[in-house]
Structure 1
Amino acid sequence: MVLDRLIAKSPFAVVVTAALDESRRRGDRRLGTEHLLLGLLHDPDSARALGKTVEEARAALDRLDRAALAALGIEVDGLRPARVSAKRGRLSPGALTSNARAVVDKAIRGRPREPAELLRALLTVTPPDPAADLLAELGVDAGAVHRRLVSPNEP
């Protein structure tokens, strides 16, 4: 499995591990592109390039979830989140969504395994992908992020 080869202390593996933790934190059974984006926000260089914090992204993802439920006629205002076990465990091969698998494959194909490559791959996803929706909700300008990745001192 791709993730087994990445489990090390490399910055890329740290981001993927943070994404797994974010998936568990939300109570999700699978790792999706939105979790990869949250994991990237644990990396200082990626967070700076995006101009967002993990807290902002979590709040935006919660807003998107509430809006999706409201569209189905389910109101969740006033409800408390359920307690979710943060137990660490291995994901099964099917635990990545197909989009998350494609993004990880694109990020590591013939390139150094760096968080910036994962971020570049995520910036190419389009709606209805969850990361694309989250980036839009956060108001992230993909062009500006690309420029900051190339020139880290750019605002």
Structure 2
Amino acid sequence: MFGRQKSSVTVIVKAAFEEARLRGDRRLGTEHLLLGLLHHDEAARALGVDLAAARAALEQLDRAALRMLGLEVGELPDTPRKHPAVPATALTSSARAVLNQAIKATTVKTRDAEVPRHLALGLLAQKSPDPVAQLVDQLGIDRAAIRARLA
């Protein structure tokens, strides 16, 4: 289902780190991997969601979490603040596990074509309280339908 694109693994991971940086997060989590995966056109089509919708859903989840703590955040500026880059070693244990699993499920020869599919499947398999599970629920992604399509 996912065709070969120029170094898709690298593109997805770099995009995930950039998404984490844009949000001002200090670590790369599974939610950032999903955002990075949505930079891959075929993955976004397969999941039935676009990057802007995923970013908006993640912001809604953040605001809800802050409200639970008694904090209300007003309107945020359209242009993101300048945040430092997220260190390459700053992956959450869950993000590291999903990424490693996706890479190990492929061969070197098929890696670029297959990692996006395995990464999508790994992210869909995450359970709450993992941030990506909450994001998938917020986006209304049908896990079973997507798994059946990608398997």
Q: TM-score, normalised by structure 1?
A: 0.82
CA distance in 2, matches of 1:10, 1:130: 26
Divergent runs of 4+, >4 A: none
| Alpha-carbon contact 1:47-1:53 (below 8 Å) kept | yes
Q: Which residue of 1 aligns with 2:100?
A: 105
Asked whether the 8 Å contact 2:27–2:86 carries over to 1, the reply is: no
Aligned to 2:16: 19
Matches within 5 A, 1:1-150: 10-80=7-77, 83-85=80-82, 91-93=87-89, 95-112=90-107, 113=111, 114-150=115-151
Q: Look up the equivalent residue of 2:133 and give its one-letter code.
A: A
2:46–2:146: 8 Å Cα contact kept in structure 1? yes
Q: Note closer, same or farther for the CA distance 1:81–1:73 as it changes in structure 2 (3 Å cut).
A: farther
Amino acid at match of 2:58: L
Q: In structure 2, the residue corresponding to 1:42 is in which secondary structure?
A: coil
How far apart are the structure 2 equivalents of 1:68 and 1:81? 21
Q: Is the 8 A contact 1:19 1:37 kept in 2?
A: yes
Give me the TM-score of the superposition, normalised by structure 2: 0.84
Larger RCO: 1 or 2 (CA < 8 Å, sep 6+): 2
* Cα distance, 1:84–1:78 mapped onto 2, change above 3 Å: closer
Q: Tell me how far 1:71 sits from its aligned partner.
A: 0.3
The 8 Å contact of residues 125 and 132 in structure 1, kept in 2 or not, is answered as yes
Q: Provide the C-alpha distance between the structure 2 equivalents of 1:147 and 1:46, rounded to a whole number of angstroms.
A: 14
CA contact (8 A) 1:21 1:86 kept: no
The one-letter code sitting in structure 2 at the alignment partner of 1:96 is L
Per the alignment, residue 3 of structure 1 pairs with none
**Structure 2: gaps (5+ residues):** 1-5
| Gapped regions of structure 1 (runs ≥ 5) | 1-8, 151-155
* CA RMSD between the two structures: 1.9
Aligned to 1:5: none
